[in-house]
Structure 1
Amino acid sequence: MDSTLHNSNAWDRKVEEGARYTQAVSTEIIEESKKGNWSISVTTEKSVPREWFPSSLDGVKVLCLASGGGQQGPVLAAAGADVTVMDISKKQLEQDEFVAKRDGLELHTVQGDMTDLHVFDDEVFDIVVNPVSNVFVKDVAPVWREASRVLKNNGVLISGSTNPLLFIFDDNEEQKGVLSVKHAVPSSTLDTLGEKEIEAHLKANQTIEYAHTLEELIKGQLDAGFLISGFYEDDFGGSRVLDRYIKTFIATRAIKMSPKV
């Protein structure tokens, strides 16, 4: 089974269903962004600190990686950046194209896999913005390597990831308020499902997710030539039981320190 193709189709369906991370920003947000009053998120609730970006985005080349949905890309474009949005989902990219056309923005869209950025030359971007999305790839190391390759030296990777702790609990039980440890890390959505459950999951076009270790998420960036220069945690805003006990998302700012990987 091609999990990449499956997740592409699954995200197309999420757009059709109007899921949270497929909802394009409003014209009002774009207009404020043009005035310099902008913010984006790469996790769930918190905004990325403005000091993680240059004081001015005018002419800054930004790759919004696995970041379709009409959210981060249009805001950064409205703030003056030269934005390219890459995503596996065609319908997610159409959200960015919709906002660009609606609000008179210049941005480029490319459909593709976050683990393979061969369409881009080496060292062409100043910033890569990568919201929580590496849960949809089995091996996260190529994401870090490719981000490093396409970034200029001293370029910045701003990335959101899921704390692997989130994945160890039985999701159905957690929704009932019960924290029951069920899964190992690393693992995937399908690992603990029976044959009929897998068939039903795939037929319903639900995404396949992969739980990565902290070594894969943090040390993986270091191994790809990055220096971690910023960090914060986030959660579901109090809507999940786990929010009472621990933050379940992390965001990192990393600087490319080596010219090649």
Structure 2
Amino acid sequence: MKKVIEHNSKIWDRKVEESVTYTRAVSSEVIEKSRRGDWQIGVTADKQVPRSWFPESVEGLKVLCLASGGGQQGPILAAAGAEVTVVDISMKQLEQDQAVAVRDNLKMNTVQAEMTNLPMFEDESFDLIVHPVSNVFIEDVHPVWKECARVLKDQGVLISGFMNPALYLFDEQKEDEGILEVAYTLPYSALDDEKADPDEALEFSHTLEDQLRGQMEAGFVLTGFYEDDFGGGRTIDRYMKSMMATRAVKFSV
């Protein structure tokens, strides 16, 4: 697991240098709108999280943006009045958040850490966790749900985006050519894939049991759900939704 984290951290540092989509910080214009209460964020590729998933105001809420570096969700929520902490394994992703904070005079805390291990935070530290599609980069999602449940307050909310496991059935190179060819059994692991590109992040699919029931077993009640895709940018978008998002509430027993 340590080697996977180290590898993926380096890859995301490089992606920042290449200015790929999920590393591009929001503009000052977006921040100003957020200050006026006109804001929205995403945790998947295309759709925005329903505004009804959040309280009417996030002013003063303690928010953890988990594996969410890149200067996107964190700065928007900070501009809307939340007390935001951003956690990511990539220091360059966190530097994007720091740059927005300096540029637009925002207060945010950034921490370089793994999403599966958050000992720097005490139990029940946060009111809200925003967790964009990112657990695709770890082998086991259960520690993520457990840590989220630990650091969230009672009746705190977890908003999480993740991949539909069916995405990983298909040969990626063939998909780039417009062909969907089943090539793998699930769950997928890049560590077992001889064709996996060593210059890209290592990815893993997870069963819906691990993604959905995993949250329930950690102490969450699912209260919202939607599906999303890449916005027409991939062949698979013609046939299925490749991502999903959940809203879950922690209830202490």
Give TM class, smaller chain. Answer: over 0.9
**Matches of 2:53 and 2:193 in 1, distance apart?**
39
The offset of 1:192, in angstroms, is 2.4
Q: How far apart are 1:26 and its partner, in Å?
A: 0.3
Equivalent position of 2:107 in the other structure: 106
Q: How many residues align?
A: 252
Match of 1:135, as an amino acid? V
Deviation at 1:84? 0.2
In 2, Cα distance between the equivalents of 1:232 and 1:187? 23
| Ranges of 4+ aligned residues in structure 1 off by more than 2 Å | none
1:255 maps onto 2:244 in alignment = no
Q: TM-score, normalised by structure 2?
A: 0.98
CA shift at 1:52, angstroms?
0.5
* TM-score normalised to structure 1 length: 0.95
SS at match of 1:211: coil
Output the amino acid matched with 1:129: V
The CA distance in 2 between the partners of 1:109 and 1:83, in whole Å, is 9
Once residues 91 and 125 of structure 1 are traced to their aligned partners in structure 2, the CA distance between those partners, rounded to angstroms, is 24
Q: What is residue 5 of structure 1 aligned with on the other side?
A: 6
User: How much has 1:184 moved relative to structure 2?
Assistant: 1.5
1:173 aligns with 174
Q: Report the RMSD for the aligned CA atoms in angstroms.
A: 1.0
The superposition leaves residues 227-250 of structure 1 with CA deviations (integer Å, 9 ceiling, x where unpaired) of: 000000000111212111111100
Say whether residues 1:230 and 2:224 are aligned partners.
yes
Partners of 2:186 and 2:91 lie apart in 1 by 30
Deviation per residue, 1:73-128 (Å, 9 max, x gap):
00000000000000000000000000000000000000000000111000010000
Structure 1 equivalent of residue 150 of structure 2:
149
Q: Secondary structure at the match of 1:116?
A: coil
Q: Output the amino acid matched with 1:175.
A: D
For residues 192 and 41 of structure 1, the distance between their equivalents in structure 2, rounded to whole angstroms, comes to 30
Aligned mates of 2:54, 2:191 — CA distance in 1: 38
Q: Which residue type is aligned with residue 84 of structure 2?
A: V
- In structure 1, the residue matched to 2:86 is 85
Corresponding residue of 2:130: 129
Query: Which residue pairs with 2:207 in the alignment?
Result: 213
In the aligned structure 2, how far is the partner of 1:251 from the partner of 1:13? 27
The separation in 2 between residues aligned to 1:77 and 1:85, in whole angstroms, is 10
Quote the Cα distance in structure 1 between the aligned partners of 2:137 and 2:236: 22
Query: Partner residue of 1:36?
Result: 37
Aligned to 1:116: 117
Tell me the residue number matched to 2:62. Answer: 61
Any unmatched runs of 5+ in structure 2?
none
- Counterpart-to-counterpart distance in 2, 1:187 and 1:25: 33
- 1:80 is paired with a residue whose SS is coil
| Whole-angstrom CA distance in 2 between matches of 1:184 and 1:82 | 42
CA deviations 1:29-68 (Å, max 9, x no partner) are: 0000000110000000100011111101110000000000
Letter paired with 2:218:
A
Query: Does 1:188 find its partner at 2:182?
Result: no
What amino acid is the match of 2:243?
A: F
Matching residue's letter, 1:182: A
Residue equivalent to 1:95: 96
Secondary structure (helix, strand or coil) at the match of 1:92 reads helix
The answer for unaligned runs of 5 or more in structure 1 is none
Tell me what 1:244 maps to: 238
**CA distance, structure 1, for counterparts of residue 148 and residue 164 of structure 2:** 21
Distance 2:108 2:186 in 1: 37
Which amino acid counterpart does residue 231 of structure 2 have in structure 1? G
Q: 2:164 is matched by which residue type in structure 1? A: N
